[in-house]
Amino acid sequence: MRLAGVAVAAACLVLAGCATHPADESGLKPATSTTGDESPAQLRARVHTELAASYFDIGNVGVALEEVKEALRADPNYGPAHNVAGVIYAQLKEDRLAEESFQRALRINAADSDALNNYGMFLCQRKQEREGIRYFVQAVRNPLYASPERSYVNAGVCARRIGDTAGAAEFFLLALKVRPNQPQALYQMADVSYARGDFGEAKRYLNRLTQVATANAETLWLGVRVERRLGDRNSEASYALQLRNRFPDSQEARALLAGQYE
């Protein structure tokens, strides 16, 4: 899980146990814009929250936690700090503290799409998928939300976890309506199409994906299986060669060598 700005980027990768996709391209965003009328306490809280996000993003969770605590000492009512605290506590498996932090962030600002998204991710990771989807849907209702496609993708991955393939596809298509080249949504639609037996459509989504994102082991493995189903041996061999050469130690490469295509 990575932090973007003072919020977690809504990448499906964090939803363990789901079909995954190319790595999230978001990373750390510029500082949140302000109106210039922050109090000194709010300014300190914002700066420490952004530092917490930066440290978390590079894997220094301990320092991130200290920074977010410093932010809350400066201003206990700074909602984004509670949001980031929730993500950090979730990473540390401190679920009670994580839940308290997310709920506090949403009491401060019920329309905070980043907090809604991150709480939805937290719930989905803990097998509360339907509740998690409800928060993703709330997040995208905010017309000021800068990245609704992320919550749509997360909702789709969450829906797939409970076997709602049709609902998941609807969410992924909504993500692509917002951002036609969204890599996670393209991968997920390729994977959903493959699962449905629509191999031609799966190939079309994969072709779109390869134009906007660098292939990883999962993408190449899906390509192998799609082309195998379509009977295109040259394309299948090309995907297989790339998988063996670029990701020789991956579980996908091992499955290829074992001939375990499904």
* Tokens standing for residue 140: 């995208």
**pLDDT at residue 70, rounded to an integer:** 96
**pLDDT at residue 46, rounded to an integer:** 96
**pLDDT at residue 69, rounded to an integer:** 97
Across 216-234, average pLDDT:
97
Residue 13 pLDDT greater than 80, yes or no: no
Instruction: Give the closest residue to 86 by CA, choosing from 131, 49, 140.
Output: 49
CATH (one of 1.25.40.10, 1.10.3720.10, 3.40.630.30, 3.40.50.970) for 180-262: 1.25.40.10
Residue 21 pLDDT greater than 90, yes or no: no
pTM: 0.85
Q: How far is Cα of residue 206 from the mean position of the Cα atoms in its chain?
A: 19
Quick one: 1-148 is in which CATH superfamily? Answer: Tetratricopeptide repeat domain (1.25.40.10)
Sign of the CA dihedral running 7, 10, 13, 14: positive
**pLDDT at residue 36, rounded to an integer:** 60
Mean pLDDT across the chain, nearest whole number?
Answer: 88
Residue 136 pLDDT greater than 90, yes or no: yes
**pLDDT at residue 1, rounded to an integer:** 54
Domain range annotation of the chain: 1-148, 180-262
**pLDDT at residue 38, rounded to an integer:** 81
Same fold, 1-148 and 180-262: yes
**pLDDT at residue 37, rounded to an integer:** 77
Cβ atoms 153, 12 nearer than 8 A? yes
The tens digit of pLDDT for each residue in 137-176 reads 999 999 999 999 999 999 999 999 999 999 999 999 999 9
Residue 12 pLDDT greater than 70, yes or no: no
